[in-house]
Amino acid sequence: MSTEPVSFSKIKNALNEAIKRDGVIIKTPDYVFIIYEMAPDRWVKASWIFSDEEGWKTTVSTKRALLYLIEEVTESLKRYEKGEWKPIIAPQEVKTIITEVEG
């Protein structure tokens, strides 16, 4: 398991895969967090930091994916006010994120 920097093209693919595979996508004012099951016990975790125009992607086990999701919800999101972050649940919302980044 190694986290590697990736282009927005790979993040765009991860966003689309997460929607197709009933993954979790969370958008904040600063970044988008993506996690979805790729295969049994293989999950993809990815993120895009808007201000840095920087993406990261890794493949992890189911246990590690659950730990990352718990950490995101309990630690990272608590610094935002209500309404500043939202779960992305529709393909149109993914398209909106892609348009925002690509311009």
Per-residue pLDDT tens digits for 65-102: 999 999 999 999 999 999 999 999 999 999 999 999 99
- Give the other-Cβ count within 10 Å of 1's Cβ: 8
Look up the pTM and report it.
Answer: 0.94
| Each residue's pLDDT tens digit, 23-37 | 999 999 999 999 999
Q: How many domains does the chain have?
A: 1
Q: What is the pLDDT of residue 5?
A: 94
Q: What domain range is 50 assigned to? A: 4-102
72-102 b/e with 16+ CB inside 10 Å = b?
beeebeeeeeeeebeebeeeebbeebeeebe
